[in-house]
Amino acid sequence: MADIGLNLKIKYGLSRDATAVETRNWYQLVESYRRSGYSLEESGELAARSILPGYRTRVYASEADTIEMLLDQAKNK
Amino acid sequence: MTCPPETPLWVTIGVPIATFVAGFITSRFTLSRKEKKDLEQDNYENSLKLEELQEKVYSAYTDAIKVYVGKEDVTLDDFVLIATTGDKYFSQTSTLCSAILSDKVDASVRDNKLLAKVRDVAQRTLPKHYETLKSIAEKKGWPYQGELRRQDHEAIYAVVERFGAAPGWTGSESGPS
């Protein structure tokens, strides 16, 4: 689950990893947006904006940004 | 062929021969329009292939760090996987740099995408990788002798020197000794 939380952090530029509960809630919201006719990408964005922490407050744009952030997490473990 | 009587014989014979030889030599050392186009196409395809390989090693490297970060009880094997996938990532970046140095990549792909990647690796990722691994190993008491040495990543630093560092780079452009 930690891996999904981390992936969500990178994809949606979150301020921290999404927790297991936040990830589950996000997934359920994505499903409900999907049922209302939104595409998968749109549903993911909308759900992330409403419940994930610090949506689009960080940019993990380049390979170096992502690697740096991951190495920091590994170091502080 | 009639020549004015004042034209020396060596000019009459020599000029056409010299023209032929010069034309032959020039054609050997310059590319025809078609050859130039073929070379550009080859370089473009080469750039795409290198980018694809770069993407693969990047995924393997970041996946290894993600596994380490996400695991409760990390082992030496998890740590070694970060070290080895990192080595492969840097080794592939060196291959990409060798292609850049020998003009085997498309110039526009190189300027717009590849150079930024290479500068990041030289200036940020390489030092961070070794520093982090050393710090983890010390904390956990694992044996790790990895060290950032310029000769292990020569092509990467050579590209930064030839094409310039990123703005704001305050470290030594030539990297570690």
Separation of alpha carbons B106 and B122, rounded Å: 21
Mean pLDDT computed over every residue of chain A: 88
* Domain spans, chain B: 38-163
Q: How far is A16 from chain B (nearest CA, A)?
A: 13
Token pair of B147 as six digits: 């060290």
The size of chain B, in residues, is 177
Region B65-88: mean pLDDT is 95
Asked if the model's pLDDT at residue A33 lies above 80, the reply is yes
Q: Is B169 helix (H, G, I), strand (E, B) or coil?
A: coil
Q: How far is A35 from chain B (nearest CA, A)?
A: 31
* Domain spans, chain A: 2-75
Name which residue leads in pLDDT, A9 or B60: B60
For B129-157, b/e burial (b = at least 16 CB within 10 A) is bbebbbebbeeeeeebeeebeeeebebbb
Q: H or E stretch including A3?
A: helix A2-12
Q: What's the pLDDT tens digit per position in B104-155?
A: 999 988 988 899 899 999 999 999 999 999 999 999 999 999 999 999 999 9
Other CB atoms within 10 A of residue B128 CB? 18
Separation of alpha carbons B113 and B54, rounded Å: 12
Share of chain B above pLDDT 70, in %: 90
Separation of alpha carbons B94 and B87, rounded Å: 10
Share of chain B above pLDDT 90, in %: 62
Q: pLDDT value at position B10?
A: 79
Q: pLDDT value at position A2?
A: 52
pTM, two decimal places: 0.71
Contact B136 A74 (CB under 8 A): yes
Q: pLDDT value at position B9?
A: 77
Q: What's the pLDDT tens digit per position in A48-68?
A: 999 999 998 877 768 898 899
Region B82-96: mean pLDDT is 97
Report the candidate in B92, B94, B83, B91 with the shortest Cα–Cα distance to residue B61: B83
Contacts of B66 in chain A (CB under 8 A): 3, 6-7, 70
Question: Which of A2, A66, A77 lies closest to B62 in CB terms?
Answer: A66
Contact B66 A6 (CB under 8 A): yes
Question: Which of A63, A71, A72 lies closest to B120 in CB terms?
Answer: A63
Asked if the model's pLDDT at residue B35 lies above 90, the reply is no
Contact A77 B120 (CB under 8 A): no
Q: How confident is the model at residue B173 (pLDDT cuts 50, 70, 90)?
A: very low
Question: Which of B58, B69, B120 lies closest to A74 in CB terms?
Answer: B69
Residues of B engaging A, defined by a Cβ cutoff of 8 Å: 58, 61-62, 65-70, 74, 82, 116-117, 120-121, 124-125, 128-129, 132, 135-136
Report the candidate in B146, B133, B142 with the shortest Cα–Cα distance to residue B176: B146
How far CA B150 is from CA of A68, B126, B154, B156, B173, in Å, comes to 20, 10, 6, 9, 11
Q: How confident is the model at residue B23 (pLDDT cuts 50, 70, 90)?
A: confident
Report the candidate in A64, A48, A39 with the shortest Cα–Cα distance to residue B54: A64
Q: pLDDT value at position B174?
A: 53
Q: pLDDT value at position B73?
A: 93
Separation of alpha carbons B108 and A62, rounded Å: 19
